[in-house]
Amino acid sequence: MINISSNKSVITMSPNNPPAARAKPGDTVCFETLNCYSESIKTEDDKMSLVPWNCINPATGPLFVEGAMPGDVLKVQILKIELAENAVMAIGPGAGVLGDVLKEERTKIVPISDGKVKFNDKITLTAEPMIGVIGTAPKGEDIPTGTPGTHGSNMDCKLIGEGSTLYLPVNTEGALLAMGDIHAVMGDGEIIICGVEVSGRITVKVDVVKDFDVHMPMLLTKDRIVMLSSAKTLDEASFDVTHKLHAFLCDKLGMELHEAGMLLSAACDLRICQIVDPLYTVRMELPTWIAKEYGFEMP
């Protein structure tokens, strides 16, 4: 197995980032990741405002995948997510949806043990590890790891966890996959600008898919095919992902135009991933059993 240390990280997704490691299709790779604050917050006296901007949302990598060329799709099977023993939540004035009512900064250190997240003395949550930042290099530009897009990155989709498979467009040779920003648990929306932020280890299997026409991130879970879109507003992202999944139903499943639209409204769910990054991210979920009825399975 290939291992990439957390000291190999980037703060931009870029076609110019030198590879931290190289892999072949079918290889298993372990990414050791820092939390979204680059471990700068150690105690509840440490505040988010003291974390340098170039330490926010580091992504371990990038990984150069041999044979991945522009126009291909990188298939990333998420095999395992291991969490550190303590996580962090840090908020303050101007942070997220409730930033207008917050009067001071607060930091919470959150212990994790045996798959449980001790939020406070009364509330213990079940850990549901997910990857906040995971993406390939965009085409011809540098994009901060905190900003999501068609290349993936900071989508903060809580379905990107163990057992799921993420499909990402390849925009440059080698794809240049990087990831980080693990959350021990996070609610849809991430409304206060943080989930339960934690460092850890992500083990994935990488493959290259040829001749699969995908220009945005797609996710396969045990029972859903999911498309993800990020835009300046929820309206823009919602319209984009709906049109893209509608086209997918017509092109890949061979559904008639009007019936595909009816199916989206009857059986598919439009959900918010996050509303706190520079671009907002939404997802639309198609039950896999419907695709199978039409003879389609994700490659």
Q: Would you state the pLDDT for residue 162?
A: 98
What integer best gives the mean pLDDT of the chain? 97
Cα distance between residue 273 and residue 186, in whole Å: 10
Query: 281 in helix, strand or coil?
Result: strand
Q: In the numeric block, which tokens belong to residue 215? A: 């220009």
213 against 204, higher pLDDT: 204
| String of DSSP letters for 58-109 | -EEEEEEETT--TT-EEEEEEEEEEE-SEEEEEE-TT-STTTTT--S-EEEE
CA-wise closest residue to 41 among 198, 158, 268, 226: 198
Cα distance between residue 260 and residue 266, in whole Å: 10
pLDDT digits (tens, 9 = 90+) for 134-192: 999 999 899 999 999 999 999 999 999 999 999 999 999 999 999 999 999 999 999 99
User: In which element (H, E) is residue 244 found?
Assistant: helix 234-252
pLDDT digits (tens, 9 = 90+) for 220-261: 999 999 999 999 999 999 999 999 999 999 999 999 999 999
Map out the domains of the chain with their CATH numbers: 2-209 (2.60.120.580), 218-293 (3.10.28.20)
Q: Would you state the pLDDT for residue 213?
A: 85
Q: Would you state the pLDDT for residue 214?
A: 86
Sign of CA dihedral 13, 81, 89, 190: positive
CA-wise closest residue to 251 among 260, 242, 262, 241: 260
